[in-house]
């Protein structure tokens, strides 16, 4: 057992140093700061894509702080919820600003996170040895989706009410347990006061606690293996005489200053939206949500908030006719696995068996299209978790991959954005067909990645990071 030792400082040492020494002898505050940021060596060739991780932390803080102030005045009661939000907007000093910061912050959070994930996709930040970092990040993404969904009901407006009704009813499509599961989630046979209280509890207490734990795990895992960089090179493989990577620099003050600049730009844009366009044309705050919830009046078009719509479009595109395309795709995929892979025969047979069950289940006498829509909806999210094992490219970074790989990423990005746009539009035959094509592109990007990611002529990857001082 080690004896307690407190570092001796000169009698004339500054008070701040004495206080810090007192804390450090009882809690590793300085060590924690140095390990996680102050003396954490990051690659010296970071570009602007690496600002979005810090911005995500900033928006998380904004959401927590504004949420605390909103909870002070919000009433989680079906008869009072809408009025309490109006009270916050109209009568609470600066309440309108806090509410708009929170609602705009939700959209800003997803914008930043989507860009953060796009950077990981471009530079292979999910590849070995960062698989666990990616899985923690994926879990954070799931928590954000749950947090946004639960929070969306709380204003108790028309779109909140009916959006929750539609999403919860999706669980009813699950065979055998679906109706009971939907009833358990709602706490009633319809979205009601019981649902509001449950969603409020999850939004304010349960999900934030899990989210904070996952963020901490994400950062600890990141700083354990080190940050990736635009070249996809492991800087820890080249250590200098001082024991630090020769291509690394301390995060503070070098990246602290860049983060401050990025935060300044972000807050300028964030403030512009809050003060001049908080509804953002109905994308950030739907106009129907300024109407009190009415269980007897269904809006003509029900759609989730924009950040769910890429996945919602896949759900809506899954029709009985589209299932024939899905069946053909499954059969072709299994044939591709059999002809081109060296997997053990048992694994191939298991894959073929699962595929056969799925194809039979999609027959007219099997499960209906609504169920398979929910499956594809969930699969479009869950498939992101398998990205570290789907990508087998010899080069991590897109910089050293064949040029046509960039076209693949661009087509995927266009399909994703198109799905998001169509998800907020009223259903139409043309939109349905386009959504189905984009859904095929979306799943094809991931499911065919083990093949296309290894194809082509790759550029030689340098042994040290490419860096030009500026």
Q: Is 223 annotated as a binding residue?
A: yes
- What is the C-alpha to C-alpha distance for residues 388 and 136, in angstroms, rounded to an integer? 13
The CA R_g of the chain, rounded to the nearest whole Å, is 25
Yes or no: say if 290 and 157 are a contact pair by the CB < 8 Å rule.
Answer: yes
**360 contacts: CB under 8 Å, gap ≥ 6:** 366
Cα→Cα distances 275→63, 267, 272, 279, Å: 17, 12, 5, 10
Q: Distance between CA atoms of 96 and 91, rounded to whole angstroms?
A: 9
Residue 14 makes CB contacts below 8 A (sequence gap 6+) with none
Closest CA to 391 of 442, 452, 334, 443: 452
Pairing of β 248-250 and β 41-43: antiparallel
Residue 243: both structure tokens together = 């024991």
Which residues are CB-neighbours of 43 under 8 A, at least 6 positions away?
A: 227, 228, 229, 231, 233, 235, 245, 247, 248, 465
SS3 label, residue 42: strand
**Max alpha carbon distance in the chain (Å)?**
86
* Residue of 49, 46, 123, 63 lying closest to 98 (CA atoms): 63
Q: For the CA atoms of 341, 346, 350, 353, what is the dihedral angle to 10 degrees?
A: 100
Of the candidates 250, 243, 263, which has an alpha carbon nearest to the alpha carbon of residue 223?
250
Say whether 218 counts as a known binding-site residue: yes
DSSP codes joined into one string, 230-254: TT---GGGSB-TTSSBTTEEEHHHH
470 known member of a binding site: no
247 and 228 Cβ atoms separated by less than 8 Å: no
- Residue 102 counted as an annotated binding residue: yes
**Residues within the annotated binding site for a ubiquinone?**
223
Which residues sit in the known binding site? 102, 116, 203, 218, 223
Annotated binding site for heme b: 102, 116, 203, 218
């Amino acid at each position: 057992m080690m004896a307690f030792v407190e570092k001796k400082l000169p009698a004339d040492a500054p008070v701040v140093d004495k206080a810090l020494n007192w804390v450090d002898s009882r809690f590793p505050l300085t060590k924690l700061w140095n390990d996680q940021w102050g003396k954490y060596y990051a690659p010296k060739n970071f570009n602007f894509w690496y600002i979005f991780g810090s911005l995500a932390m900033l928006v998380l803080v904004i959401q927590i702080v504004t949420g605390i102030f909103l909870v002070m005045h919000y009433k989680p009661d079906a008869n009072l919820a809408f009025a309490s939000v109006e009270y916050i907007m109209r009568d609470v000093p600066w309440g309108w600003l806090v509410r708009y910061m929170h609602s705009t912050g939700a959209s800003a959070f997803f914008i930043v996170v989507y860009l953060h994930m796009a950077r990981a996709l471009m530079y292979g930040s999910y590849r070995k040895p960062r698989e666990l970092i990616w899985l923690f990040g994926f879990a954070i993404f799931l928590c954000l989706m749950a947090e946004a969904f639960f929070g969306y009901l709380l204003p108790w407006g028309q779109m909140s009410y009916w959006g929750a009704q539609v999403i919860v009813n999706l669980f009813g499509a699950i065979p055998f347990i679906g109706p009971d599961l939907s009833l358990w989630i709602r706490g009633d046979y319809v979205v009601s006061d019981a649902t509001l209280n449950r969603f409020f509890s999850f939004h304010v207490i349960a999900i934030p606690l899990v989210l904070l734990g996952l963020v901490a795990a994400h950062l600890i895992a990141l700083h354990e293996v080190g940050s990736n960089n635009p070249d996809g090179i492991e800087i820890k493989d080249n250590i200098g005489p001082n024991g630090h990577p020769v291509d690394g620099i301390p995060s503070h003050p070098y990246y602290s200053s860049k983060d401050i600049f990025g935060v300044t730009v972000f807050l300028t844009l964030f403030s512009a939206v809050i003060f001049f366009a908080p509804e953002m044309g109905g994308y950030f705050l739907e106009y129907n949500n300024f109407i009190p919830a009415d269980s007897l009046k269904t809006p003509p078009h029900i759609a989730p908030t924009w950040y769910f719509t890429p996945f919602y479009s896949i759900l809506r595109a899954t029709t009985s006719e589209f299932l024939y395309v899905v069946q053909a795709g499954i059969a072709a995929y299994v044939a591709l696995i059999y002809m081109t892979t060296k997997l053990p025969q048992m694994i191939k047979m298991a894959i073929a068996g699962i595929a056969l069950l799925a194809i039979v289940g999609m027959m007219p006498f099997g499960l209906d299209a609504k169920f398979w829509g929910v499956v594809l909806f969930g699969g479009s999210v869950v498939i992101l978790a398998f990205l570290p094992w789907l990508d087998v490219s010899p080069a991590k970074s897109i910089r050293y991959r064949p040029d046509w790989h960039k076209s693949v990423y661009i087509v995927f990005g266009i399909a994703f954005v198109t799905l998001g746009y169509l998800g907020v539009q009223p259903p139409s035959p043309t939109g349905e067909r386009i959504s189905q094509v984009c859904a095929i592109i979306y799943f094809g990007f991931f499911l065919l990645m083990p093949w296309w990611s290894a194809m082509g002529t790759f550029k030689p990857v340098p042994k040290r990071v490419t860096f030009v001082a500026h």
